[in-house]
Amino acid sequence: MQRIVIVGGGAGGLVLATQLGKKLGKKGLAEVTLVDAARTHVWKPLLHQLAAGSFDTHAEEIEYLAQARWNHFKFRLGRLVSVDRTAKTLQLEASFDETGREITPAQQLAYDTLIIAVGSQTNDFGTLGAAEHTIKLDSPVAAQNFNNRMINACIRAQTVPRSAGSGRLTVAIVGGGATGVELAAELHASAKVLAHFGFDHIHPEKDLQIVLIEAAPRLLAQLPERLSESALRELRKLAIEVHTNERVVEVTADHLKMASGKVVPASIAVWAAGVKAPEFLKTLGGEAPLETNRLNQLLVNHNLQCAQDPSIFAFGDCAAYQQPDGLWVPPRAQVAYQQAMYLVRALPMLQRGEAVAPFVFKDQGSLVSLSEYSSVGSLMGSLTKGSFFVEGQIAKFMYWALHKQHQMALGGFKKMALITLSELLDRTYRPRIKLH
């Protein structure tokens, strides 16, 4: 029986494990194993809402063990340490609880096909002080850490005398991409709700100052200019301070310094600019490591196989893939989803020795959520050839539909419908934001 091991339970990895489990594992055609260092999955595009406290993490988390049981694959807890390509084994490090007690020992897993889907992490480009003084919004743990600091800062602000003409709490967000823009709007909405839960002195315009800093000439620089202009217009309506063409060169405990000399005070600083693949990928494979680029991404061929080893695949943010037209696919959630569905079809064919058409990314456009205020997006078109622009309620519905698509890929239509019903019921008795 073929042993397929998938490392990384993000949006793409979990969808792939689920679909292969139903297609191959259920029929006994392959043993599918998912490996991840965490025990639960949270859809990455929701991290800005988790950071702002606007959704319940327990309601959104998917338990890997339960998902594996329901969809005919296995789950192993652990972090990938090394791969022995000759023996076709991978080594997982031991895992520990918060007290330091061992949960799982170091493990070795054998594979016939290995698929790397470990995603990406925030790239601070070595900026002075960024590692020590900013929160990198690239994981559920980091988002929860930000939320805890935000709530604690709001409680602290209740007892600190307000300086004339200045806010008591400043949140500086470095990076004007989708994550930074969405977080800024979500924080503004959360601040309004906080006023109803005892934080009567935290006003989103007077007491909370949100600053968004982008090194490029405009926000959402990788997306159509019209979308960028619409997002900027909405943020300015919310009195969010936006700085473009400003590169952060130093971060301290209480301020950020720009290359221009400008200084921005910051009670809390979030780094949401740039991504790179995890560092360990540079040495993966031992004495003959797999080929990577400057962002640590594994270089893959037209079937998403690593160049030096056809038994190892990589996809999503951790893979660098150049399409037949010469364009490199961007690190976006829809790329990981499309690549996962491609591998669901391609892997059985490759195992049978059949020819498989190369993967081609079909850009469905981009959507950016501005919390309860609006959404903007470009749909059904390549970013280079133009696209259909949407905003307001239509864009908000499309953004919501993307989340439902992810839920349906993991649990089918019936489960997605039940989850949606549960979400509607939760709104009748749960607070609109998490306060712990």
Among the ranges given (207-211, 279-283, 388-392, 414-418), the one the predictor scored with the smallest mean pLDDT: 388-392
> Percentage of the chain with pLDDT > 70?
79
**Domains, in order of start, for the chain:** 2-120+277-351 (3.50.50.60), 130-275+367-426 (3.50.50.100)
Give the pLDDT confidence of 247-263 residue by residue, as tens digits: 999 999 999 999 999 99
Residues 6+ apart with CB under 8 A from 5: 33, 35, 90, 109, 111, 113, 114, 115
Mean pLDDT throughout 87-99?
92
CA dist 13 and 45 (Å) reads: 15
CA dist 248 and 158 (Å) reads: 30
- Reported confidence tier of residue 164, pLDDT bands at 50, 70, 90: very low
Closest to 235 (Cα-Cα) out of 178, 307, 196: 178
Mean pLDDT throughout 331-349?
93
DSSP string over 32-96: EEEEESSSEE--GGGHHHHHHT-S-HHHH-EEHHHHHHHHT-EEEE-EEEEEETTTTEEEEE-EE
Q: Decide: 20 and 71 in contact? Cβ < 8 Å.
A: no
Q: Is the pLDDT of residue 363 over 50?
A: yes
- Reported confidence tier of residue 379, pLDDT bands at 50, 70, 90: low
In this prediction, residue 393 carries a pLDDT of 59
Which residue intervals of 290-332 are DSSP H helices?
none
178, 337, 379, 384 from 387: Cα distances, Å: 18, 21, 6, 8
The C-alpha angle with vertex 47 and arms to 44 and 50, in degrees rounded to 5, equals 140
Mean pLDDT throughout 211-222?
92
SS3 341: helix
In this prediction, residue 26 carries a pLDDT of 94
Closest to 363 (Cα-Cα) out of 390, 339, 340, 382: 382
Q: Are strands 319-320 and 298-299 parallel, antiparallel or unpaired?
A: parallel
CA dist 69 and 57 (Å) reads: 21
Mean pLDDT throughout 180-204?
70
Gyration radius from the chain CA atoms: 22
CA dist 408 and 406 (Å) reads: 5
Closest to 269 (Cα-Cα) out of 171, 137, 186: 171
| Axis crossing angle, helix 393-426 with helix 11-20, rounded to the nearest 10 | 70
Among the ranges given (169-173, 284-288, 420-424), the one the predictor scored with the smallest mean pLDDT: 420-424
Give me the chain's average pLDDT, please. Answer: 83
Q: Decide: 209 and 165 in contact? Cβ < 8 Å.
A: no
Mean pLDDT throughout 126-137?
93
Tokens of 319: 């893979």
The better pLDDT of the pair 380, 324 is held by 324
What global pTM score does this model have?
0.84
The better pLDDT of the pair 38, 374 is held by 38
Q: N- to C-terminal Cα distance for the chain? A: 47
Among the ranges given (111-120, 147-156, 286-295, 346-355), the one the predictor scored with the smallest mean pLDDT: 147-156
Among the ranges given (7-21, 176-190, 220-234, 420-434), the one the predictor scored with the smallest mean pLDDT: 420-434
Cα Dmax for the chain: 73
Q: In what order do the strands lie in the sheet with 248-251?
A: 248-251, 255-258, 263-265
In this prediction, residue 190 carries a pLDDT of 76
In this prediction, residue 396 carries a pLDDT of 60
Give the pLDDT confidence of 2-58 residue by residue, as tens digits: 999 999 999 899 999 999 999 999 999 999 999 999 998 887 877 877 777 766 656
Q: Is the pLDDT of residue 433 over 50?
A: no
Tokens of 49: 């809402």
- For the chain, give the number of residues: 436
In this prediction, residue 381 carries a pLDDT of 46
Q: Where are the beta strands (DSSP E) in 342-416?
A: 365-370, 374-379, 388-391
In this prediction, residue 157 carries a pLDDT of 66
In this prediction, residue 392 carries a pLDDT of 56
Q: Is the pLDDT of residue 309 over 80?
A: yes
DSSP string over 140-153: HHHHHHHHHHHHHH
Q: Is the pLDDT of residue 385 over 50?
A: no
Closest to 65 (Cα-Cα) out of 101, 34, 103: 34
SS3 217: coil
Report residue 357: phi and psi, to 5°.
-65, 145
Give the pLDDT confidence of 314-337 residue by residue, as tens digits: 999 999 999 888 889 988 888 999
Q: Is the pLDDT of residue 376 over 70?
A: no
Q: Decide: 298 and 116 in contact? Cβ < 8 Å.
A: yes
